[in-house]
Amino acid sequence: MDNQSIKVPMWYWIAAIIFLLWNLMGIGSFLSHTLMKEEMIQTLSVAEQELYSNYPAWVFFAFAISVFNGTLGCIGLLLKKKWARSMFIVSLIGIIPQMTYVIFIANTAEVYGPSGLIMPIMIVVVGFFLVWYADSITKRGWLK
């Protein structure tokens, strides 16, 4: 029996679509960060300009790895493919150094305050959750 004939509950599809939208928003954020024109940077506060201009290239590389592999993982969920888990693991491998930089090295909280840590922490939590989720549903036989 192939995985297309395995019946999954409706919440599976809803979750897969929500996580796909989450990762597509991540791609949007990545593109807005990497394609931001100098004129737009000048409209930011001085502290934000400094924060933005000091991001090393490896952070953007990790950012790309995390959002594009996360999106591929979600597409894998929609196709009910076991390789979705691998994509989520690679995404998490991108998330960890990126968010380590954002939270601990760049001191984002100094620029945005404690609320500036909410999204980075959510990204880490969702990254770990997606790996666990894909593993869990693979064990249920929903991904092949």
First and final CA of the chain: distance in angstroms? Answer: 10
Residue 4: predicted pLDDT: 58
Examine the pLDDT at 94 and tell me if it is beyond 70: yes
Which of 19-28, 35-44, 53-62, 98-107 ranks highest by mean pLDDT? 19-28
Residue 67 DSSP label: H
Examine the pLDDT at 1 and tell me if it is beyond 60: no
Distance CA 132, CA 141 (A): 14
Examine the pLDDT at 14 and tell me if it is beyond 90: yes
Contact indicator for 53, 42 with CB cutoff of 8 Å: no
Write 2-9 long-range contacts (CB < 8 A, 24+). Answer: 2/144, 3/80, 3/81, 3/141, 3/142, 3/143, 3/144, 4/80, 6/80, 6/141, 6/142, 6/144, 8/80, 8/137, 8/142
Examine the pLDDT at 5 and tell me if it is beyond 90: no
Distance CA 48, CA 42 (A): 10
For residue 112, give the nearest of 52, 61, 39, 22 by alpha carbon: 52
Residue spans of the domains in the chain: they are 8-139
Distance CA 35, CA 140 (A): 41
